[in-house]
Structures are given as C-alpha cells and as structure tokens.
Amino acid sequence: MAQYVAIIEDADPDEAVALWFPDLPGCISGGDDFDEAMENAPEALAFYAQELIADGRQLPPPRTLDALKADPRVAADLAKHMVALIEWPPLTEATE
C-alpha cells in the first residue's frame, strides 16, 4: 500500500484546515478542523486518481519524506507545516 505525504496548513484556529499533496499537483483537501481534513484526504486522492485514469494516466508513485525534504520546491513547506501520511488505496471495511 502506498503512502502519500500530505502537507497540512492550519493557519488559524477559527479557519478551515487545508492539506495538499506535493506529489499530486492540484490535489487538495480540507475541513473545518484537523480531523475532518484528515478524514476527507482519501476522498480527494480518489477523485484525483479518477481524473488521471479518465485521461489515460496513473497516479505517480509517492516519494518518501526524505526525498521530499531534499526537493527545494517542497522543503520550506515541510519545515513550517505538519505532515501526515495518507494511505492509498484507502482501507475499506472489506479489507480490514
């Protein structure tokens, strides 16, 4: 099972929490709080994957956290925000 790194931007306790995937340009998710943003992340990945498949493409393989830290386009965001690993494909009740 693959794990994609998500960068979680929690700017203000009174605002929504956003997260995005450095390996998946344009794939974003969010929620009213951290828990909701994390709960919504697999759904965002699923929609992103569906769009790629419809275009005849596949999800790119996820990079490790160390590989992302070595990427100057991502390193600053990793240093100032929380990160989480989002499993893909998500576990379902049938596979648990």
Considering all CA atoms of the chain, what is the largest pairwise distance in Å, rounded to the nearest integer?
A: 40
Give the pLDDT mean for 85-96. 68
**Does any domain span residue 96?**
no
**Does any domain span residue 32?**
yes
Task: Please determine, for residue 15, whether its predicted confidence score (pLDDT) is greater than 70.
Answer: yes
- pLDDT category of residue 88 using cuts at 50, 70 and 90: confident
Predicted local distance difference test score (pLDDT) of residue 73: 94
Task: Please determine, for residue 93, whether its predicted confidence score (pLDDT) is greater than 70.
Answer: no
Distances (CA, A) of 12 to 2, 9, 44, 93: 31, 9, 22, 34
Task: Please determine, for residue 92, whether its predicted confidence score (pLDDT) is greater than 80.
Answer: no
Least confident of 9-13, 62-66, 67-71: 9-13
Indicate which CATH number applies to the domain containing 7: 3.30.160.250
* Domain count within the chain: 1
Task: Please determine, for residue 96, whether its predicted confidence score (pLDDT) is greater than 90.
Answer: no
Q: The domain containing residue 47 runs over which residues?
A: 2-88
